[in-house]
Amino acid sequence: MSCQHVSTVAPVPPRTPKGCEDCLKTGSGWVHLRLCLTCGHVGCCDSSPNRHATKHFHNSDHPIVASFEPGERWAWCYADEEEVPLPRAAEPFLRD
Ligand SMILES: [Zn+2]
Ligand SMILES: [Zn+2]
Ligand SMILES: [Zn+2]
């Protein structure tokens, strides 16, 4: 594992626990959700029409997301394009 980013994030609560922040604004739909562990942005995955989680990474430079799907516990670094250990501090913000 080469990621130097995951140890630097301090997870915060999701800003839009009900779904993708950007899709909710436009009335769009999504497939899966990802939570930005830097700022709490909830965005939709690359299987979704609008790919807001990836767009958020490019717009913000926030590299680490966690799955925001019920029961899933994993994290991903966009900068290194690899799965990274889920920070323990993020767990309370994920969905059961
Ligand atoms: Zn990284
Ligand atoms: Zn979206
Ligand atoms: Zn962010």
Please identify which residue in the block is written with the tokens 């690899």: 82
- Please tell me the number of the ligand nearest to residue 4's CA: 1
Whole-model pTM: value is 0.96
Report whether pLDDT(21) > 80: yes
**How many angstroms separate the alpha carbon of residue 93 from the centre of ligand 1?**
20
CA of 59 to the centre of ligand 3 (A): 9
Q: Can you give the pLDDT at residue 1? A: 66
pLDDT tens string 27-74: 999 999 999 999 999 999 999 999 999 999 999 999 999 999 999 999
DSSP the chain: ---SSGGG------S-TTS-HHHHHHT---S-EEEETTT--EEE-TTSSS-HHHHHHHHH---EEEE-STT---EEETTTTEEEPPPGGGGGGS--
The pairing of strands 64-67 and 75-77 is antiparallel
Q: How far is the CA of 91 from the centre of ligand 1 (A)?
A: 19
Residues within 5 A (CB) of ion ligand 3: 36, 38-39, 41, 60, 62
Average of per-residue pLDDT values in the chain: 97
